[in-house]
Amino acid sequence: MSKITVWFIKCAMVYFLLAVILGLHMAVSGMAYPYMPIHAHFNLLGWMSMMIYGVGY
């Protein structure tokens, strides 16, 4: 794998970890609504797009 592929996949894992931590915080605290856009951004624009770029590159 090239360096850029590894970099994209590592960034995707960071976004995934952030999304999981935020999702757990939302589930435990009960204050999910204010954090939903951030959670969606981490999942869709962070984790998903970085993983697609990494695997497709």
- pLDDT tens sequence across 4-41: 999 999 999 999 999 999 999 999 988 878 889 999 99
Torsion angle, alpha carbons of 18, 19, 20, 26, to 10 = 110
| Tens digit of each residue's pLDDT (9 = 90 or more) over 9-18 | 999 999 999 9
d(CA 57, CA 45): 17
Range of the structural domain that residue 24 is part of = 3-56
User: Per the structure, how many domains does the chain have?
Assistant: 1
| Tens digit of each residue's pLDDT (9 = 90 or more) over 39-53 | 999 999 899 999 999
> What contacts 42, CB < 8 A, 6 or more positions away?
15, 16, 18, 19, 22
